[in-house]
C-alpha cells in the first residue's frame, strides 16, 4: 500500500496523521511492510457482518470418514453378518412340545454386543432443532499485518475508539494481562474462536491466515455491530468506516400484528441491523421502530429477512416515509403561465399581503423587506430576524464539510469549558481556514458583506446546511473566534442568554413551518437584540437567589409590611406581583410566562418561522439518479414512464456496435415506488433501471400558489390544485404527521345528489 492510503485509513474525519500519538504513528511501518513475523502486530479490519445458517458451519456438518474408519466399519459389518448366519444354522427347529405348545428360539446375533460400538455413535451428534434454526454471524475481514491464529487474544476497537484516551489512562510501560487492563470506552478483548476460508457459499476451517488475505471470523457477534478494527496493540487507531454509494433514504415504521410479539420484533431488528451494513434501525420519540433502507428493492429484502429469518413473526408495515426539506427562494420573475410579473404585480402583492396577515398573529411587526420584530412575552427582550436564501454552492459546501463543522463545534465547546485542546493540529486549522475561504468566495455582494465572519452557528444539530448570522451592535459572536462585545459588562449580559438564541435557531431549522421537515439552504440574520435591565438582573443566578431569599424573609416577618414591599418592587420596575408566590430559587423575571431563557428560545424559534413565511417557500425533494439500458425499440416507452413520474432525462448515449441506449435521468424518490416493475412491464423486460440517491432538488411550484390573473384562472381554474405537485407532497406529509390540512371534504353541500336515479 502507498503511504497516502495508509494515512487515510488511520485518520478518521478531519483528523490528521501528525496529530496521532507517536505510538500510533509507529504502526505505519507495519502497514507498509505487511509482515508475517511473530513480532509483527496483528491488524485486521472487519468491514461487515453477515448472517449464515448455523447448519452450514463446518463444525456442524457431518465429518467425512477417512479410509481407516471406512475399513473398520466394513470389518465390523462382516463380523455381525457372520455371527448372524452362524446363529441361524445352529438353532433348533421349531416343533410342538409335549403339552401342545411351540418352542420359539430367536437368533442371538441380532442383538449388538456391549463391546461393539453402534454405527450411529461414530457420526457426529445431530444438531438440536433450536440451534439449527438460529443464524450465525461471520465477520468479513482482511488481515493487514501479522498472522491471525485461532485461539489468539486480540483487542476489538470500535469506530469511536480513541488511542489517545487509552494512553492517558494506562501509563507507559504498563504490562498486565488483557483482562486486567482498565476499562476504556469502545474497546473490548476477545479470542479468535474460528477462522474460515470463504469459498462462495461454503466455509472451510483454517488454523491461521497470513497477511493480505480475506477471511471470515466466527464468534464476534457479541463484540462487533457492523464494522470494527482488530489489533494486538491498543495504540492502533480504528479504521474509517466504509462509504456506501447507496445512502439510506426510504424509511418505514414496523410493528408486530400481535402486541405480545414485540420482544421478538426488537430482537429480530437487532439481528437485521447487524447482518445488513447499509440498513439503519431507529426508535423515534413516539416509540415507533423505524427501518431506513436504500430503496424499494432493499426495503422488500429487509422485510422478507425480518419475517422469515430473524423475527419469524407477522409484522405490519406502514407506507414508505419519504423525507423532504424546506427552503426559501428569491421572488419569481414570471408567473405560472410564463408571463413577466409587471402589470399583475400589484394584484399579487395585495394577495400575498393578505396571506401574510392571516398567517402572522398580531403584535409582530413585519417590515417590507421581510424583517420580523418580535418581543418576548414578558416584554424584556426584543429580536429582529430576517431570512435569506443561501446560494446553491454554499449549501453544497456546508453539506460536504459537515464533519469539519462538527469538529469546529467540539473545539468551541472545549475552549469554553477550558479543556485541553493540544490535540488540534495545524493541518486541522488549515482545513478550517480553507473552508472559510470557500464560503467567502461564494458569499459575495453587498448583502453578504462580512457575513462569513459573523456566522454564529450552523443548524440543525449544529452541523447542518443552515447558518445563523449575528449582526447585533451590542454583541458579536462568531464560530471562528468566539464571543466578543464592546464592553465586558455588555458582553456578559448577552453571553448568558446566547445559548438560548442558538437553541431557538436549532429548533427552527429542525422543523419548518410548511410540514415540519428540516430546513436547508437558509440564512437567518439576527439584526437586532435588545435586553432590558431586568433581564440583566435575571442573568445572575446568585443575585436571583438572594432576592428570592429576601422576599421570603419579608413574608415571614409579617403581613403588615407586605404592601410596602410591593410598592418598593413596583418602583424598581424589575419585578412582577407574581414574585410573591414564586418558589425558592426562582428568578424574579421568572413570572407566569416561565424562565426567561425558555422565553428567548420560544421567541427565537417563532421569529425564524415567521421570517420564513414572509418569503417564497419551496419544498425540496430527494432525487434518485436513474441509469437505464434499453434498446431503440422501447426507448419511447421508457420516456413515457419517466415523464409520468416527474422524471427528467439528463443524458442519452448509444453504445457503439449495438442498438442499446444508456439513459441517465433524475427521478424523485417519492415517485420511485413501483418504477422498476412498471419499466419492465412496459418494455417487456428489455429495459432495466438502477436507482441511486443523488441530491436534493427544489420543486419549482409554489405549494401556496393561487391564481391571481385572468390568464391563470383560464388555464388552471379557480382552485388550481390539479397540477401543483408541491401541494400534494405537503398535504400528504401533514396528513401523516396529524397536522391541519386546508382541504374541504364537502365544498358545496347543496349540489350533492343523494337520490337514486329512476330506472
Answer whether residue 628 shows pLDDT above 50: yes
Q: Are residues 298 and 380 in the same domain?
A: no
Choose between 601 and 583: higher pLDDT: 601
Answer whether residue 293 shows pLDDT above 50: yes
Is residue 641 very low, low, confident or very high in pLDDT (cuts 50, 70, 90)? very high
Tell me what pLDDT residue 562 has. Answer: 41
Tell me what pLDDT residue 666 has. Answer: 94
Q: What angle do CA 309, 157, 33 make, to 5 degrees?
A: 115
Answer whether residue 756 shows pLDDT above 90: no
Lowest-pLDDT range, 8-12, 135-139, 728-732? 8-12
Percent share of the chain, pLDDT over 90: 25
Residue 428: enclosing H or E segment and its boundaries? helix 426-442
Tell me what pLDDT residue 100 has. Answer: 46
> What is the number of other CB atoms lying within 10 angstroms of the CB of residue 602?
17
What is the per-residue DSSP string for 482-514?
EEEESSHHHHHHHHHTHHHHHHHHHHHHHS-TT
Tell me what pLDDT residue 110 has. Answer: 43
Tell me what pLDDT residue 4 has. Answer: 76
Q: Are residues 459 and 600 in the same domain?
A: yes
Q: Are residues 483 and 413 in the same domain?
A: yes
Name the average pLDDT for the chain. Answer: 78
The average pLDDT across 504-522 equals 94
Answer whether residue 748 shows pLDDT above 80: no
746: helix, coil or strand? coil
Is residue 662 very low, low, confident or very high in pLDDT (cuts 50, 70, 90)? very high
Residue 518: enclosing H or E segment and its boundaries? none
Alpha-carbon gap, residue 115 to 294, rounded angstroms? 63
Yes or no: say if 149 and 323 are a contact pair by the CB < 8 Å rule.
no
**Per the domain annotation, does 671 fall within a domain?**
yes
Q: Are residues 395 and 519 in the same domain?
A: yes
Give just the sign of the alpha carbon dihedral 577, 582, 585, 591: negative
Domain holding 279: CATH number? 3.30.70.870
Q: Are residues 301 and 445 in the same domain?
A: no
Q: Are residues 434 and 449 in the same domain?
A: yes
If one counts the domains in the chain, the total is 4
Choose between 183 and 353: higher pLDDT: 183
> What is the number of other CB atoms lying within 10 angstroms of the CB of residue 372?
24
Q: Are residues 283 and 202 in the same domain?
A: no
Answer whether residue 232 shows pLDDT above 80: yes
Is residue 563 very low, low, confident or very high in pLDDT (cuts 50, 70, 90)? very low
Q: What pLDDT digit, counting tens, does each position of 246-278 carry?
A: 778 889 999 999 999 999 999 999 999 988 888
**Per the domain annotation, does 214 fall within a domain?**
yes
Q: Are residues 698 and 607 in the same domain?
A: no
**Per the domain annotation, does 102 fall within a domain?**
no
Looking up cell 474460528, which residue turns up?
194
Residues contacting 688, CB < 8 A, separation 6+? 628, 629, 676, 679, 680
* Burial of 427: CB neighbours in 10 Å, binned 0-12, 13-18, 19+: middle
Tell me what pLDDT residue 648 has. Answer: 92
Q: Are residues 499 and 606 in the same domain?
A: yes
* 500-536 burial: b if 16+ Cβ within 10 Å, else e: bbbbbbbbbbbbbbbbebbbbbbbbbbbebebbebbb
Answer whether residue 555 shows pLDDT above 50: no
The average pLDDT across 127-145 equals 71
Is residue 16 very low, low, confident or very high in pLDDT (cuts 50, 70, 90)? confident
Of 79, 82, 69, residue with least CA distance to 115: 79
39: helix, coil or strand? coil
The average pLDDT across 373-400 equals 91
Tell me what pLDDT residue 697 has. Answer: 93
702: helix, coil or strand? coil
The average pLDDT across 509-524 equals 94
Answer whether residue 422 shows pLDDT above 80: no
Tell me what pLDDT residue 227 has. Answer: 87
Answer whether residue 585 shows pLDDT above 80: no
The average pLDDT across 310-322 equals 91
Answer whether residue 397 shows pLDDT above 80: yes
Choose between 563 and 707: higher pLDDT: 707
Q: Are residues 392 and 423 in the same domain?
A: yes
Choose between 245 and 527: higher pLDDT: 527
**Per the domain annotation, does 570 fall within a domain?**
no
Answer whether residue 489 shows pLDDT above 60: no
Tell me what pLDDT residue 418 has. Answer: 59
Tell me what pLDDT residue 358 has. Answer: 56
Answer whether residue 159 shows pLDDT above 70: yes
Answer whether residue 570 shows pLDDT above 50: no
Give the domain range for residue 31: 3-56+132-231
Domain holding 160: CATH number? 2.40.30.10
Which of 613, 648, 673 corresponds to the end of one domain?
A: 613
Alpha-carbon gap, residue 390 to 458, rounded angstroms? 13
**Per the domain annotation, does 96 fall within a domain?**
no
219: helix, coil or strand? coil
Of 19, 14, 9, 18, residue with least CA distance to 407: 14
Q: Are residues 280 and 403 in the same domain?
A: no
Choose between 649 and 551: higher pLDDT: 649
Tell me what pLDDT residue 482 has. Answer: 57
Q: Are residues 445 and 502 in the same domain?
A: yes
Tell me what pLDDT residue 116 has. Answer: 43
Tell me what pLDDT residue 584 has. Answer: 40
Tell me what pLDDT residue 407 has. Answer: 83
Answer whether residue 287 shows pLDDT above 80: yes
The average pLDDT across 741-753 equals 70
**Per the domain annotation, does 626 fall within a domain?**
yes
Amino acid at each position: 500500500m502507498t503511504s497516502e492510503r495508509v494515512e487515510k485509513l488511520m485518520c478518521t474525519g478531519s483528523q490528521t496523521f501528525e496529530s496521532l500519538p507517536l505510538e500510533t504513528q509507529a504502526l505505519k511501518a507495519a502497514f507498509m511492510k505487511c509482515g508475517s513475523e511473530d513480532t509483527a502486530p496483528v491488524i485486521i479490519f472487519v468491514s461487515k457482518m453477515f448472517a449464515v445458517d448455523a447448519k452450514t458451519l463446518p463444525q456442524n456438518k457431518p465429518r467425512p470418514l477417512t479410509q481407516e474408519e471406512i475399513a473398520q466399519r466394513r470389518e465390523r459389518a462382516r463380523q455381525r453378518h457372520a455371527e448372524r448366519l452362524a446363529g441361524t444354522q445352529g438353532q433348533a427347529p421349531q416343533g410342538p412340545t409335549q403339552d401342545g405348545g411351540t418352542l420359539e428360539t430367536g437368533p442371538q446375533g441380532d442383538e449388538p454386543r456391549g463391546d461393539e460400538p453402534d454405527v450411529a455413535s461414530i457420526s457426529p451428534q445431530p444438531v438440536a432443532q433450536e440451534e439449527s434454526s438460529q443464524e450465525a454471524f461471520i465477520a468479513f475481514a482482511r488481515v493487514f499485518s501479522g498472522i491471525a491464529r485461532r485461539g489468539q487474544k486480540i483487542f476489538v476497537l470500535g469506530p469511536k475508539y480513541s488511542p489517545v484516551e487509552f494512553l492517558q489512562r494506562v501509563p507507559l510501560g504498563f504490562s498486565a494481562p488483557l483482562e486486567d487492563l482498565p476499562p476504556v470506552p469502545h474497546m473490548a478483548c476477545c479470542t479468535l474462536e474460528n477462522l474460515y476460508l470463504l469459498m462462495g457459499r461454503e466455509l472451510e476451517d483454517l488454523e491461521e491466515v497470513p497477511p493480505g488475505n480475506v477471511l471470515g471470523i466466527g464468534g464476534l457477534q457479541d463484540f462487533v455491530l457492523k464494522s470494527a478494527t482488530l489489533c494486538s496493540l491498543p495504540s492502533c487507531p480504528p479504521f474509517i468506516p466504509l462509504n456506501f454509494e447507496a445512502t439510506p433514504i426510504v424509511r418505514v415504521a414496523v410493528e408486530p400484528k400481535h402486541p405480545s410479539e414485540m420482544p421478538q420484533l426488537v430482537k429480530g431488528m437487532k439481528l437485521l441491523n447487524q447482518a445488513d451494513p447499509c440498513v439503519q434501525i431507529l426508535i423515534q420519540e413516539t416509540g415507533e421502530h423505524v427501518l431506513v433502507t436504500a430503496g424499494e428493492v432493499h426495503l422488500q429484502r429487509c422485510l422478507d429477512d425480518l419475517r422469515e429469518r430473524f423475527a419469524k413473526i407477522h409484522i405490519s408495515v406502514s407506507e414508505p416515509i419519504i423525507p423532504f426539506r424546506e427552503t426559501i427562494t428569491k421572488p419569481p420573475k414570471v408567473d405560472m403561465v410564463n408571463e413577466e410579473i409587471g402589470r399583475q404585480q400589484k394584484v399579487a402583492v395585495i394577495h400575498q399581503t393578505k396571506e401574510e396577515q392571516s398567517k402572522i398573529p398580531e403584535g409582530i411587526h413585519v417590515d417590507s423587506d421581510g424583517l420580523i420584530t418580535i418581543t418576548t412575552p414578558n416584554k424584556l427582550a426584543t429580536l429582529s430576524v430576517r431570512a435569506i436564501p443561501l446560494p446553491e454552492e454554499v449549501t453544497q459546501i456546508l453539506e460536504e464539510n459537515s464533519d469539519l463543522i462538527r469538529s469546529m463545534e467540539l473545539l468551541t465547546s472545549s475552549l469554553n469549558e477550558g479543556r485541553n485542546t493540544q490535540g488540534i493540529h495545524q493541518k486541522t486549522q488549515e482545513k478550517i481556514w480553507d473552508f472559510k475561504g470557500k464560503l467567502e468566495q461564494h458569499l459575495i455582494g453587498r448583502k453578504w458583506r462580512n457575513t462569513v465572519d459573523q456566522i454564529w452557528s450552523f443548524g440543525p444539530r449544529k452541523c447542518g446546511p443552515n447558518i445563523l448570522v449575528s449582526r447585533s451592535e451590542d454583541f458579536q459572536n462568531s464560530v471562528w473566534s468566539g464571543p466578543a462585545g464592546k464592553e465586558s459588562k455588555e458582553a456578559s449580559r448577552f453571553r448568558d442568554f446566547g445559548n438560548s438564541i442558538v437553541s431557538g435557531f436549532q429548533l427552527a431549522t429542525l422543523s419548518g413551518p410548511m410540514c415540519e421537515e428540516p430546513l436547508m439552504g437558509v440564512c437567518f440574520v439576527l439584526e437586532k437584540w435588545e435586553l432590558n435591565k431586568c433581564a440583566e438582573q435575571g442573568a445572575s443566578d446568585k443575585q436571583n437567589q438572594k432576592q428570592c431569599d429576601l422576599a421570603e424573609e419579608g413574608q415571614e416577618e409579617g403581613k403588615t409590611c407586605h404592601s410596602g414591599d410591593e410598592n418598593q418592587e413596583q418602583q424598581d420596575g424589575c419585578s412582577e406581583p407574581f414574585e410573591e408566590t414564586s418558589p425558592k430559587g426562582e428568578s424574579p423575571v421568572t413570572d407566569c410566562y416561565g424562565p426567561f431563557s425558555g422565553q428567548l428560545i420560544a421567541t427565537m424559534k417563532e421569529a425564524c418561522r415567521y421570517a420564513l413565511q414572509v418569503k417564497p417557500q419551496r419544498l425540496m425533494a430527494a432525487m434518485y439518479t436513474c441509469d437505464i439500458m434499453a434498446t431503440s425499440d422501447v426507448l419511447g416507452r421508457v420516456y413515457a414512464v419517466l415523464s409520468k413520474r416527474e422524471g427528467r432525462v439528463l443524458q442519452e448515449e448509444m453504445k457503439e456496435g449495438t442498438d442499446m441506449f444508456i439513459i441517465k435521468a433524475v427521478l424523485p424518490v417519492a415517485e420511485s415506488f413501483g418504477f422498476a416493475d412498471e419499466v419492465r412491464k412496459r418494455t417487456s423486460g428489455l429495459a432495466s433501471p438502477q436507482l441511486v440517491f443523488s441530491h436534493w432538488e427544489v420543486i419549482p411550484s409554489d405549494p401556496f400558489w393561487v391564481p391571481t390573473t385572468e390568464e391563470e384562472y383560464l388555464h388552471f381554474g379557480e382552485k388550481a390544485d390539479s397540477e401543483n405537485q408541491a401541494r400534494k407532497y405537503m398535504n400528504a406529509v401533514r396528513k401523516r404527521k396529524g397536522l391541519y390540512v386546508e382541504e374541504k371534504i364537502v365544498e358545496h353541500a347543496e349540489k350533492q345528489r343523494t337520490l337514486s336515479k329512476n330506472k
